[in-house]
Amino acid sequence: MRPDTADGPGDGPGDGPGGNAPERPGHVPQRSGHVPERSGHVPARAGSVPEQAGRASAARGAGKWAALAAANAGMGRMSLAEQAAEVLRTAIIEGDLRPGDPLSDSDPDLMAALSVSRNTLREAFRLLGHEGLLVLELHRGVRVRDLTEDDLHDIYAARRVLELTALRHAALHPGAADPAAVRAAVAEGLKAAEAGDWTAVGSANMHFHQAVVALHGSPRLNRTMRQLLAEGRLAFHSMTDPGPFHEPYLARNKEIAALLDRGAFDEAADRMADYLDQAERQLTEGFRDRPPAPRRPRSR
């Protein structure tokens, strides 16, 4: 991807996310046999849900921003700001960004990893702010959002609609639903648990639920689910001891995957409804017991 280097005239060390207007990530229609050099788009997304999940998991620990950018290489027709937002969204889903973590539009490592300018990074922050993943405060900078208990309940209400609908839809169209990605996520979680890596277990759980919604075959539902999973991962951080929280769901994920392999999609939907109810209750208790989140210093 060619670096995006255009910055506005107001870019200075003190500018926050509410500064000068962001670049418009312009769209240049492609002509037959010609690819524009700077269209703000990148090649079509390659790889299935398990392939994307595997790239993201492999990226953990290999370098904070560059590895995540590499894990998201080959995204669909997105503007540069949307692509940067997707990398940050993935960092949240994978547990690499936590509630309260600061972000800066003047972070040279982040801009270099994403090959974007300061204005484009600001626009990415705004996109994630609209999704409820980041908080943008004038003269204070940007931080990852700390969810409320009301947020938690709303997330789970939306997840029930998406996940149960996907499973009921699969029951009506069994030949179109391939649970291979669900099985892959279950195997990923079990392997991470054997290694005692509960952060990776949490990521595998995110991949499991994304794969469940993908059974529907709707790109729009998949995009909506990624946003919900990012918010859900922020909620997971309310659990001070992730091992006891995640471990019981490994068996439940395996059970649901086995039901899908047998074509028992309606029964899987019933199990998933109980599953989500239980997870919401546990996280609600975690929210009520957690200490106040510390305000972390703004990164510059």
C-alpha Rg value of the chain to the nearest Å: 20
What's residue 62's pLDDT?
43
Structural domains of the chain in order of their starting residue, each with its CATH number: 49-144 (1.10.10.10), 149-289 (1.20.120.530)
Averaged over successive runs of 10 residues, the pLDDT of the chain (300 residues) comes to 50 43 41 38 39 47 60 67 93 93 92 91 96 90 94 97 97 92 98 96 97 97 96 91 94 98 97 97 88 54
Q: Is 129 exposed, middle or buried (0-12, 13-18, 19+ CB in 10 A)?
A: middle
Structure tokens at 281: 């209750």
Give yes or no for a contact between 226 and 210, defined as CB atoms under 8 angstroms apart.
yes
Question: Which residues of the chain form beta strands (DSSP E)?
Answer: 102-103, 134-137, 141-144
What's residue 35's pLDDT?
35
Distances (CA, A) of 184 to 214, 293, 297: 13, 34, 39
Local structure of 135: helix, strand or coil:
strand
What's residue 64's pLDDT?
63
- Would you say the pTM of this structure is higher than 0.85? no
At residue 73, what are phi and psi to the nearest 5 degrees?
Answer: -65, 145
Local structure of 93: helix, strand or coil:
helix
Q: What is the DSSP string of 204-237?
A: HHHHHHHHHHHTT--HHHHHHHHHHHHHHHHHHT
Q: Give the neighbor-by-neighbor strand order of the sheet with 141-144.
A: 102-103, 141-144, 134-137
What's residue 45's pLDDT?
38
- Closest listed residue to residue 128, CA positions, set 156, 98, 87: 87
Distances (CA, A) of 259 to 12, 207, 263, 296: 57, 18, 6, 44
At residue 200, what are phi and psi to the nearest 5 degrees?
Answer: -70, -35
What's residue 29's pLDDT?
41
- Closest listed residue to residue 93, CA positions, set 219, 185, 177: 185
Collect all residues with Cβ–Cβ distance below 8 Å to 8 and sequence separation of at least 6.
19, 20, 21, 23, 119
Distance between CA atoms of residues 183 and 129, nearest Å: 33
